Chain A
């Protein structure tokens, strides 16, 4: 099932997911006052694919 074609097709998704994760982690490290403990947000960002970084940006960032 994991032939070359599949890998090529899914690779962009993987790259985007990792990019999203890195954006969120960089922002978390820079953020002096996130909405909750930093280690918790780091775990959410790394463990939950796609949803984790979005949750952090929307809830954890305290941009309101």
Chain B
């Protein structure tokens, strides 16, 4: 336990000094704010770019506030996830290369504490980012259009948070198991892309899959998800999370020999 808190303190300092704890949330907030704002100013933007001929009249329906939050989630799924993957791809693989690992591995190190301290810190940054981004989006949507019921919003953001934590776990697993940071990021992005493609093509055949977490999160804003399907999905996601973390711990122990001295 003492080792864990020491390692966590190291991770905290590292994230503070390389500004990750500041810049990643700022990116998410910007993503959350731009979506409602650009929808609000869409008529002026169309006007300014002068794309419409004289006399053309388009009635732009006011977007539903729920749609805007789902659109914010879409941005997180694309840019947000990319930023998180690229920011944490090197957290273990990079340490083996830049010398930090030699300082750590020569000591009697508990690899459970080692992996979990990194996982906890990365998850905290991801959660701060997701919640800050969603709250900013929620606020702007409420000011410019109308408010989504706050309870629905909380369920939506909480479900999506689990998905982000799962993504972070996958990155750390990849970082522990791969040779270098680039491979880790490539593996994570390829895995997410392919799995999401499979789920969107054949996903109607099954209801329980961690990849459906964003869909279930979005359905909280609509009619609400099917409760049994959601509970099974949450359970399977937790199992995946624990499995990936266990594999990550195992790989970070096995790959210590790949450290560059």
Residues of chain A whose beta carbon lies under 8 Å from any beta carbon of chain B? 1, 6, 9-10, 12-13, 16-17, 19-20, 23-24, 26-27, 50, 53-54, 57-58, 61, 63-64
Contacts and interface: CB of A to CB of B under 8 A. Distances in A.
B33 A24 contact: no
* Most chain B CB within a 10 A radius of its CB, from A10, A57, A63: A63
Given A12-B33, A23-B19, A54 B97 contact: no
B137 interface: no
A54 B27 contact: yes
Majority SS at the chain B contact face? helix
Contact of B181 (A16, A53, A54, A64): A64
Contacts, number: 60
Interface stretch (B54-62, B82-90, B155-163, B188-196): B82-90
Contacts of A24: 19, 23
B97 A64 contact: yes
Contact of A58 (B37, B48, B87, B94): B87
A20 B94 contact: no
Given A9-B37, A64-B93, A64-B182, A50 B19 contact: no
B30 interface: yes
B23 A13 contact: no
B22 interface: yes
A24 B98 CA distance: 21
B255 interface: no
Contacts of B29: 16
A26 to B, nearest CB: 8
A63 B98 CA distance: 9
A17 B30 contact: yes
B23 A53 contact: yes
A23 B23 contact: yes
A58 B98 CA distance: 16
Contacts of B97: 64
B18 A27 contact: yes
